[in-house]
Structure 1
Amino acid sequence: MAKRTTAQTGILYDTRYTEHDTGDLHPENAERYVAVMHSLKGLRQENRDRLSRLGWIPAEIGDVLLCHEAWYHDVVRMDVDQFAEVLRTGDTAICPESYDVAMAAVGASLSAVDAVCEGGLANAFAAVRPPGHHASQGKGMGFCIFNNVAIAARHAQKRHGMKRVAILDWDVHHGNGTQDIFYDDASVLFVSSHEEDLFPHTGSPEETGGGEGVGLTANFPVASGVGGDVLLPLWRDKIGPLVLDFNPDLIVISAGFDARVDDPVGMLALTDQDFAELTGMVCAWADACCDGRVVSILEGGYDPQGLASAVNAHVGALMQAGNTI
């Protein structure tokens, strides 16, 4: 496991991710990504000494198979090649570029892991699309094709020897795909806070893991309208002790920003400052457990300007945490 050798935060963004065309009226459209990309470009211009733009290469099939069934990978490839408009396993909109862009999203997520685990960066944020946390071993759904965070976690274990990985998901929706992939796994802690009674209608507190993974799935559904006054204490007082007790070698964030106030798909009310504080908490736990290693990967957020603003706050907090080296 590499020790931190720089206070820099890595960021990853690319026009490639705009080529996954879901249609202008689809919530998960390219406009939201363009807003994030422009925001990150501006942030990097202002912080060149603290922000390092990372490169990436597309994932290989073997990377996808770390978490997905081979037949599911082939279904995705087939549906895209046959010009289907929706992935046959669910409600995920696709276009002729979707397979290549999804492989690029996985590849970028792995590059972020490599940069933190091997390159010595303090932490990293990968701005990718399509998102991934609803994709299970054999099913894409809810805007997701391949599960970027899950594959990143498994890659960290296989390539970098990270024995225990914590995946923390603050998207407004429950990360059902990530939960399914690691439900019986004692080497991965999955924690989710999410709005109750919302798609995909999973993530009850009773879902706590199975087999060797009993107790390593932790769900915290909250009521509509909840903001930082409830969620920040929840993360500090309930989730923090779980993470510290698990003592991970790496923390991966499923960084959804659709829990932000006024997002069109949810009814939570986190502010940019709330996301910055959440990020600071996670980084503090990482400092206590794993030399500060945090990899954050973009999930939801469907008000383009609100998303860009929350991402800026998130990356700003990553920079501040990384600068404590």
Structure 2
Amino acid sequence: MGRTNEGGGAGWGGGGGFTPDSWADKGNRKRRQRGHAAAAVQRQPSPECDIEVPERLLSSYEQLKHYHLVERCIHVPVREGTEEEIMLVHSSEYLEVVKSTQTMNEEELRRVSENYDAVYFHPNTYRCAKLAVGATLQLVDSVMSGKVCNGMALVRPPGHHSQRNAANGFCVFNNVAIAAQYAKRRYGLQRILIVDWDVHHGQGIQYVFEEDPSVLYYSWHRYEHQQFWPLLRESDYDAVGQGKGKGFNLNVPWNKVGMGNSDYLAAFFHVLLPVAFEFVPELILVSSGYDSGIGDPEGQMTATPECFAHLTHFLMQLANGRVCAVLEGGYHLKSLSESVCMTVKTLLRDPLPQISGEMAPCLSAVESIQNVRAAHKPYWKCLMYEEATPLHNLSTKSQQMMEAELIQTSTHPTAKQVVGTTNSDEAIKTDRFLESHMKKILFPVPPVKTASAIVSKVDAHLLPISVQVEMEMNAQELKTLVSAFDAELVKEEKALLSLQNVLAVLDKILKKKVCNGIAESSVASVSTTFALKHCFDFGLQRVLCIVVGDMDLELDLDDGKILLMNICQKQQTEKTNSKYHISLNWKEDAGRNNFFCAVLGFILPVAYSYQPDLMIIVIGPNRSLGVNAISLLTCLLQGLAESRILVVIQDTEIKLVQSVAKALSGVSTPDFGAYAPAFQENFLEIKRLRDQLQQEWKMLRCSVKDWISGN
């Protein structure tokens, strides 16, 4: 499935495992131990596999239809992968073994299956696995040829564990690894990013590319100090790659269960996104496993479905939006299907739902983040000023040892000790929670994405087609509103016109008739103050206001209804930096964009900690940021406040207006310009603000020192 260039649909790639008698047939399912090895308790042998089932695809597809997402997608025809394509990753000997299973009886299939870890062959396995490969490659072709912008392939069997000569962990052919090799060979790509958010480590992908600097592989996974499957030392944070590939393998090991939305976002902000923007990928492949979501019996994590929407949104700001998501794991059907839908909605550029839960990563997550940053500091400019040192005495180790001792001395293991077993009561509770939760976070998509009120220099035809130009408000209604705010302003025609522009767009946003908008104002400070008052009269509780340039706003910031962030050139006094009034002094790198550090390492973590109902970005005089940096800021902030953003521009310039309109409308990803690492003085400014504010805004924490000082 993929979104078209016009934003109208998504290309759909589905293949493998739709029929009940295909891979892991219902009548002959088996399962080997695949879970928490620290418990030293083996599961009872079972003749059936109760998790990697055809219903995984069927339930996901049905939920997509329920949300009317399938009809908005472009169907990408599915074909079988060829033997030549499969051998881009796998050996001919292994291919012949898999091919031979087509004619085997049950006993022969059992013997072949026992040669591998947690893989069970059926006579239909080979064809389904080839369809999974072919569907993935068809999606890559559709995206790279420009037929669609992005897409998702719902396939079985999954692939990220399979290796050159071995099936592994339900995986037969490594769909994503084959796709990366295929894209390099067919399209001459030199930089491919693979993001693996499955809860298990995709060691198969790591092995293929660990010496290859053209592929950046990122994986977070349940690890628990090598006590969780696949039980590999090379799944830890210090496995950074080999030879020329050093620095191009990023493992974020989760050493405890229960990781949730804030932990996943923190890993993106402080590890993946800085490195990815520096890497500048030409294509993004997602090993899209949803066993890292809430309720999954394998993962035992707590991330809710909308978290995957936010992760997808961030990835879409890279590689000109060329994202191919390929299904891997996910074994709680309701959690899986809702998470798939959230991913597809985001690929279609629907506004994002507000993310749930407290925005504060746990200590164990921060430990892992610090270790990854320390391990990769020698390889990436974005980390070169960091004071990251590896931690060896982690907080989870002593707890884990005590649990292991308790289990080993017990003669009758309880259900709690056998981590990973399915609890039907818990599954039902998760179903009920998700049913209620999705009703709370989902909302109708506005008929228009972006509204504009720009009257000088920029003609309407210069804006993206999807941008709607607003007409004037009723003059009497406007004067009534303005009089209540400041009676003198009614007499000033220039100010009244500016307020009219801003209010025309803001009103549409507040009433959810549009997602976002852009307005010109010759008196931006007055217009912004007026807009904020209008927001609170409308009933909003929290507004994030980011001012770019020199501008003084007389606002009451004590009650927390406004978080004011000023990005400026002039030095501000120390007293201006408080929880709700932050001054970021920034020196821009002429000709290149060095603002990535500030957006990813500071602005986004603070904004996600605050969780605003609306965002206002004000671009005033003497701005310290160029067009590319402002576009980056505008794009990345759209994950917040149900994507509701108002951009107010004082000094209208054509290039700036066009770039911001492009960023808001999502017609295509704006050019953020060449990446540049932050100047040391800029980094020190970020560090100063982090040290000062991390207790208030907990998503800023990326080291244990930060975490401890903030508690």
**1:267 maps onto 2:289 in alignment:** no
Q: How far is the alpha carbon of 1:159 from its aligned partner?
A: 1.1
Instruction: Give the conservation status (yes or no) of the 8 Å contact 1:17–1:33.
Output: yes
1:109-132 CA distances to partner (integer Å, 9 max, x unpaired)? 000100100143110100000000
Of residues 217, 234, 249 in structure 1, which corresponds to 2:267? Answer: 234
For structure 2, which runs of at least 5 residues remain unmatched after alignment? 30-47, 352-664, 668-711
Partner of 2:58: 34
Aligned mates of 1:47, 1:180 — CA distance in 2: 35
Q: How far is the alpha carbon of 1:182 from its aligned partner?
A: 0.6
Aligned mates of 2:88, 2:145 — CA distance in 1: 20
Q: How far is the alpha carbon of 1:6 from its aligned partner?
A: 3.3
Partner of 2:24: 21
Partner of 1:218: 250
Aligned mates of 1:152, 1:321 — CA distance in 2: 27
SS at 1:297's partner residue? strand
Partner of 2:326: 297
Q: How does 1:105-124 map to 2 (within 5 A)?
A: 105-124=132-151
1:153-196 CA distances to partner (integer Å, 9 max, x unpaired)? 11111112222111000000000000001111111110001112
1:13-61 CA distances to partner (integer Å, 9 max, x unpaired)? 3575332134364110112221112123334x4563x421211110110
Letter in 2 for 1:10: G
**1:324 maps onto 2:666 in alignment:** yes
Q: How far is the alpha carbon of 1:92 from its aligned partner?
A: 0.3
Partner of 2:231: 201
Q: 1:120 to 1:321 in 2, by over 3 A?
A: farther
Aligned mates of 1:302, 1:141 — CA distance in 2: 17
Partner of 2:131: 104
Q: 1:149 to 1:321 in 2, by over 3 A?
A: farther
SS at 2:194's partner residue? strand
Aligned mates of 1:15, 1:175 — CA distance in 2: 20
TM-score w.r.t. the length of structure 2 is 0.43
Partner of 2:13: 12
Partner of 1:180: 207
Partner of 2:78: 56
1:181-226 CA distances to partner (integer Å, 9 max, x unpaired)? 1111111110001112321123101111001111100000112111
SS at 2:127's partner residue? helix
Query: Looking at both structures, which has the greater relative contact order when contacts are Cα pairs under 8 Å and sequence separation is at least 6?
Result: 1
Aligned mates of 1:68, 1:46 — CA distance in 2: 35
For structure 1, which runs of at least 5 residues remain unmatched after alignment? none
Instruction: Give the conservation status (yes or no) of the 8 Å contact 1:22–1:93.
Output: no
Letter in 1 for 2:346: A
Instruction: Give the conservation status (yes or no) of the 8 Å contact 2:193–2:217.
Output: yes
Q: How does 1:244-259 map to 2 (within 5 A)?
A: 244-259=277-292
Aligned mates of 2:279, 2:203 — CA distance in 1: 21
Aligned mates of 1:96, 1:20 — CA distance in 2: 8
Letter in 1 for 2:143: V
Aligned mates of 1:236, 1:58 — CA distance in 2: 38
Aligned mates of 1:267, 1:124 — CA distance in 2: 28
Q: 1:270 to 1:20 in 2, by over 3 A?
A: same
Instruction: Give the conservation status (yes or no) of the 8 Å contact 2:17–2:157.
Output: no
Aligned mates of 1:121, 1:72 — CA distance in 2: 34
Partner of 1:66: 88
Asked which structure has the greater CA Rg, the reply is 2
Letter in 2 for 1:267: Q
Aligned mates of 2:331, 2:74 — CA distance in 1: 26
Letter in 1 for 2:61: M
1:263-285 CA distances to partner (integer Å, 9 max, x unpaired)? 0111111101111111111112x
Q: How far is the alpha carbon of 1:321 from its aligned partner?
A: 6.8
SS at 1:90's partner residue? coil
Aligned mates of 2:18, 2:156 — CA distance in 1: 6
Query: Greater shift after overlay, 85-94 or 198-207?
Result: 85-94
Letter in 2 for 1:324: G
